[in-house]
Amino acid sequence: MSLNDFIEATNGPKCRVFENPDPKELIEVLKKLKTSHVITIFALCDAFYKGRAQSTLDKGERLIIIKPDGTLLIHDSRSREPKNWQPPGSIITFSYNNGSLLIKSKRYNPREEIRITCYTLYVVITARLGRGGLSLEGSEKEMAEIINKNPSLIEEGLRIVKREAKTPYGYVDLLGEDAKGRLVVIELKRGIAQINAVYQLVRYVEYFRSTARREVRGIIAAPKISKNAMLILKRYGLEYKRVKIR
């Protein structure tokens, strides 16, 4: 990969493919593009996570996706769910370590870190993607509108105080107050609520518990919830409300 390749990758085509790149040279490209391009890496790698707990992904061939907003995803050949991930707002860094590409993703509230060591880089793709909106019938937005007008669909005595409340981790679908004056964080899912919805709710609840001066509850409202998602929800002391609209 020549200097021209670096310049072309940074300023040239919207999409650029690097096959078997040298990690030491690739780092400069990744540093320049991480806030403007989606970076997809197919590599032989391992990964270590520390935060609420600790976990390790053994060495294997995986797909790593890094987005300009700080989102990081690690996929293998099975399941639509990533093996590990970090949400928007995470800080991504790249470095060279003994012939390997080292990727770190950190965030500070709560403190979490994923460290990925890429031993062999097969293909790296950088692409500038658009941000067009998605319009769906029967979406969570419609669900929020209905619950906003009828909070008793969640529980009696609930009052909705804000829609799309902003947090460092995204926008809460509905923020409410229950009959006992507790803050209620509500995450809506039109279909089956999966594990990623639970972890998103966990982040929202932890944020409000650190900023609000009162008790905070967290609720996932959906027609169904997966078994694994329900187990994790209970582990964090959060709630599920079956809500089916139409």
Between the ranges 58-67, 82-91, 103-112, 167-176, where is the mean pLDDT highest?
A: 58-67
Residue with tokens 């780092």: 27
Task: Check if CATH label 3.40.50.720 holds for domain 140-242.
Answer: no
Q: What is the largest CA-CA distance in the chain?
A: 65
Fill in the amino acid letter for 86.
Answer: Q
Q: Is the pLDDT of residue 9 over 60?
A: no
The answer to whether 11 and 44 are in contact (CB under 8 A) is: no
Chain CA centroid to CA 24, Å: 28
Helix-then-strand count for the chain, H and E: 5, 15
Residue range 218-238: mean pLDDT, rounded = 93
Is the model's pLDDT at 241 over the cut of 60? yes
The CA distances from residue 216 to 14, 108, 182, in Å, are 44, 21, 6
Confidence of residue 246 (pLDDT cuts 50, 70, 90): low
**Per-residue model confidence (pLDDT) at position 134:** 40
pLDDT single digits (tens) 115-165: 999 999 999 999 998 765 444 445 777 888 888 888 988 989 999 999 988
For residue 81, what pLDDT is reported?
Answer: 83
Q: What is the pLDDT of residue 89?
A: 85
pLDDT tens digit sequence for 37-90: 999 999 999 999 998 788 999 999 999 999 998 999 999 998 888 899 988 889
Secondary structure of the chain: what % helix, strand, coil (to 5)?
A: 25, 45, 30
User: What is the per-residue pLDDT for 131?
Assistant: 67
Does the pTM exceed 0.85? no
Domain boundaries in the chain?
3-127, 140-242
Phi and psi angles of residue 157, each rounded to the nearest 5 degrees, phi first: 90, -5
* pLDDT number for residue 137: 45
CATH architecture for residues 3-127: Distorted Sandwich (2.70)
Write out pLDDT tens, residues 196-227. 999 999 999 999 999 888 899 999 999 999 99
